[in-house]
Amino acid sequence: MSPAETALTQSAEPAAEAAAQPRILQVRTRILKKNDEVAREMRAGFETAGVRVVNVVSSPGSGKTSLLTESLRRLRDRGLAVAAIVGDLETDNDARRLAASGAPVRQIMTHGLCHLEADMVQRELAAWEAEGLAVSSLQLLFVENVGNLVCPTSWDLGESLRVVLMSVTEGEDKPLKYPGLFNTADLVVITKSDLAEACRFDREAALSAIEQVRPGVPVLETSAVTAVGINDWLDAVCPSP
């Protein structure tokens, strides 16, 4: 078809389709814009108040609660004002475990939702304030996310630090299977190191897997049972003096 013929064909079409013509609205907006805005507002508030917020993410059973219970206990011993919020689909069992540390703890039951969103944390903090906890006087707040290695990926909770845990018992290739989430980590913690030998944990393979999905991220190794690595971990999450 010559250019002249093409032009003719094109000019003939609009008249025929004038009755139902599609119209395109260009939007190009982040779907989680609202969440990002709430998170940004919370982050600014935390920074002003000097509250460091650590969002802890992992698969279920990687040892988030055990590590945080031990951490809360030790940080309180160091004289720090610490607290924790924990998300689970059901039960307040984890809040009870964390509360054994003596720190203020609050449970969010999501009733099926697989991740925490910024406004859920914001509502909990507001309710907590109303009940008398001065959130702005805290130095460190742990947010233990719902155990899941996919869903929490894109939800910013206003945290200062996102920590992704993987235990020695769950396979060295976890990061390769869940690259999206591991790619958002500011720090990776390998937990349950006391069990490493028993489950023939291949440390080099695990470090290589982490490096393939989050090049350059710092990696720590801890055991909440033997306390190996706990002080390094606390130094990494503690507010700088």
Partner 1 sequence: MVHYDAGGGALAGSTRQLAKRQMHELSIAMRVIEMVEQEVAAAGGGSVASVSLRIGVLAGVSEGALQFAFEQAREDTVMQAATLRITHLPVQVYCPSCQAVRELPRVPPLACPVCGRSTGDLRQGTELELDCIELTETIL
- By the criterion CB under 8 A, which residues form the site for partner 1? 18-32, 34, 87, 92, 95-96, 99, 104-117, 119-120, 123-124, 127-128, 131, 150-151, 153-155, 175-176, 179-181, 183, 209, 211-217
State the nearest-atom distance from the C-beta of 87 to partner 1, in Å.
Answer: 7
Nearer to partner 1, 62 or 148 (CB): 148
Select 17 or 197, whichever has its Cβ closest to partner 1. Answer: 17
Task: List, in order, residues 6 or more apart from 207 with CB less than 8 Å away.
Answer: 219
3-state secondary structure of 68: helix
Least distance (Å) between residue 241 CB and partner 1: 27
Tokens of 198: 């028993």
CB of 82 to partner 1, least distance (A): 13
Burial pattern 103-120, b for ≥16 Cβ within 10 A else e, equals: bbbbbbeeeeeebbbbeb
Nearer to partner 1, 1 or 20 (CB): 20
Reduced to 3 states (helix: H, G, I; strand: E, B; else coil), residue 43 is helix
Instruction: For residue 144, give the nearest of 76, 224, 56, 225 by alpha carbon.
Output: 56
Q: Return the number of the residue (212 or 226) whose C-beta is nearest partner 1.
A: 212
| Residue whose CB is less far from partner 1, 149 or 224 | 149
Nearest one of 30, 57, 51, 38 to 157, comparing CA atoms: 38
Least spacing, CB of residue 109 vs partner 1, in Å: 6
Given the complex with partner 1, which of 205 and 227 has the nearer CB atom?
A: 205
**Minimum CB separation from partner 1 for residue 118, in Å?**
11
Min dist. Cβ of residue 49 to partner 1 (A): 20
DSSP reduced 3-state for 93: helix
User: Are 153 and 175 in contact, with CB atoms under 8 Å apart?
Assistant: no
Burial 224-241 (b: 16+ CB within 10 A, else e): beeeebbeebbeebbeee
